[in-house]
Amino acid sequence: MAFAPRPAASALVAGVLLLVLMPAAAAAAAAGGVCFDRIFSFGDSLTDTGNFILSVPDDFPDPAKRLPYGQTFFGRPSGRYSDGRNLLDFFAEAFGLPYVPPYLGGGEFLNGANFAVGGATALDYSFFRERGVEPTWTPHSLNEQMQWFKKLLPSIASTESERSDMMSKSLFLLGEVGGNDYNHLIVRGKSLDELHELVPNVIGAIGSAITELINLGAKKFVVPGNFPIGCVPLYLAIFPSEKEGYYNKETECIEWLNEFTELHNRLLQEELEKIRNLHPDVSIIYADYYGATMNIFRAPLQFGFTVPRNSCCGSDAPHNCSLSVMCGNPGSTVCPDPSKYISWDGLHFTEATYKIIIQGVLGSYAFPPLSETCRGGEYKISQLHLCTDNNPTNTVTYDDAMSSFI
C-alpha cells in the first residue's frame, strides 16, 4: 500500500481548497485575531482535513471520498468526515485563521499545518499487534504525525531564534486522539478490562507528545478529551440491551461506554495537570468535548436537533446505522436536512453539531478558558455566536463569555 504523499495530485487538491475557502478565511482574519498566528493540529477523523484520503491509493474505496460527505459545506468531498466543516475548521474560524491545510497535501505551511489522519490512534501499530489486534484503519499514529511535524519544522523556521518565535506564537491542537485506540477494541468485542488496560498507555502517548512539543518551544496547547461514545448511533446499534439501567434515563446513551470515556477524560486531565506543574510558562487548555456534547444530548431540541440518536447518512438499520452499509457506500441513504441530526454517519457528527461543540469550548467547556493561551495579550475571537447552555438560567452569548475572560 502506498501511504506516501503524492505531491502533484495533492498540491492540486490543496489549491482548489484554498480557492473555495479564501473568502470566508479572509473575512474572518479581517474581523479579529488572537495571540497566535497559526494552528498545528494532530489527531484523527474529528479534525482530518484531507490527510487520510491523500494517504491512500486513488482506488481506495473510502466513503469520505464521495458525496454526500461535504454536501452541506464545500459542496464536494473534502476529506472531512462530516457533511461540512469539522472541529478544526470551527476553531480556525473562531480564531480568524485560515482553514488548516492537510500536511500530506504538500505546501509551505507558514500558516499552520494539519497532521490529523482519519482512523489514527494515539498508540503505534506495534502496540496493538503485540496484543493480537491488527489495526486496519491507518498506520499514521500520533507518533508518526509528530515525526511529520519535526520534519517540517526546519522549513518553517530555520534558525534557533526563528524557531522559538514561531513555536511560541502557534497553537497546538492535540486531539481528540485516543478514541480510535478504544474503538479498535470495542468493535472487536474486547472486554472492558482490556479497554481499561489501554487507558494509561493512551494517556502516556498523549503526554509524551505534549512534552516533546514543549521541548521544541511550544507554549499554547488545546488538548480535547473524547466525546460521549455511548451516544453515537454506531454503538447504540451494535450494543443494544434490554437490561435495566443500561441506558441513561435522561440521554438514552449507553452508560458503560460513557463511563469509560469519562475515565479516559479524567486521567487525561490528571496528566495535563502534571505537565502544567512542570511547565508553568506553558498554557494547556483541556477542551471538554464530552461536556459540550452531553449538553446537546440532554436537550437536543434546544439546539434544533429533532433526530438525536440516528445517523443522517447510513442505512435503514436500527439508528439508521450499520457496519454493512455505511454512509457513502452503495445503497446508503441520506436525510433531507443534516442540521436536524446530531450524528452524520453514525460515528462522526454533522457540521451543525461540530459548530455547537466548538461554541461550547470557546465558552465554558474548557479548563482553563481559552483566553489563558494569551496571558496578558489580546484574546479576541472572531465569530460571536449565541450559546444556549442547558441550564436556562445560564444562557450566555459569547460576548458575555468573553468579557468574563478579560
Ligand X SMILES: *[C@@H]1O[C@H](CO)[C@@H](O)[C@H](O)[C@H]1NC(C)=O
Nearest position to ligand X, beta carbon: 333
From the CB of residue 336, how many other CB atoms can be counted at a distance below 10 Å?
6
Question: Nearest distance from residue 314's CB to ligand X, in Å?
Answer: 6
> Which CB atom, from 107 or from 318, has the smaller least distance to ligand X?
318
Tell me how far the alpha carbon of residue 85 is from its chain's centroid.
Answer: 11
CB of residue 333 to ligand X, shortest distance in Å? 3
Q: How far is the CB of 332 from ligand X (least distance, A)?
A: 8
Nearer to ligand X, 85 or 319 (CB): 319
Task: Answer yes or no whether residue 108 interacts with ligand X by CB under 6 A.
Answer: no
- Judged by beta carbon, residue 101 or residue 314, the one nearer ligand X is 314
Residue number with CB closer to ligand X (302 or 333): 333
Phi and psi torsions of 171, nearest 5°:
-100, 130
Report if residue 321 touches ligand X, rule: CB under 6 A.
no
Select from 47-55, 118-126, 202-210, 312-320 the region that touches ligand X (CB under 6 A): 312-320
Question: How near is the Cβ of 353 to ligand X at its closest, in Å?
Answer: 16
Q: Looking at beta carbons only, is 153 or 317 nearer to ligand X?
A: 317
List the one residue from 28, 335, 362, 387 that touches ligand X (CB under 6 A): 335
* Closest CB to ligand X among residues 35, 335: 335
Residue 321 Cβ vs ligand X, minimum distance, rounded to whole Å: 9
Instruction: Between 114 and 310, name the residue whose CB sits nearer to ligand X.
Output: 310
Is the Cβ–Cβ distance between 163 and 157 less than 8 Å?
yes
3-state SS of the chain is CCCCCCHHHHHHHHHHHHHHHHHHHHHHHHHCCCCCCEEEEECCCCCCCCHHHHHCCCCCCCHHHCCCCCCCCCCCCCCCCCCCCCHHHHHHHHCCCCCCCEHHHCCCCCCEEECCCCCCCCCCHHHHHHCCCCCCCCCCCHHHHHHHHHHHHHHHCCCHHHHHHHHHCEEEEECCCCHHHHHHHHHCCCCHHHHHHHHHHHHHHHHHHHHHHHHCCCCEEEEECCCCHHHCHHHHHHCCCCCCCCECCCCCCEHHHHHHHHHHHHHHHHHHHHHHHHCCCCEEEEECHHHHHHHHHHCHHHHCCCEEEEECEECCCHHHCCCCCCCCCCCCEECCCHHHEEECCCCCECHHHHHHHHHHHHCCCEECCHHHHCCCCCCCCCCCCEECCCCHHHCEEHHHHHHCCC
Cβ of residue 252: shortest distance to ligand X, in angstroms?
17
Q: Rule CB under 6 A: choose which of 329, 333, 390, 397 binds ligand X.
A: 333
* Shortest distance (Å) from residue 84 CB to ligand X: 17
By CB under 6 A, which span of 98-106, 262-270, 279-287, 314-322 interacts with ligand X? 314-322
- Binding segment (CB under 6 A) for ligand X, from list 6-14, 83-91, 229-237, 313-321: 313-321
Under the binding rule (CB under 6 A), the answer on residue 320 touching ligand X is yes
Active site residues: 45, 345, 348
Among 162, 252, 316, 337, binds ligand X (CB under 6 A): 316
By the criterion CB under 6 A, which residues form the site for ligand X? 314, 316, 320, 333, 335
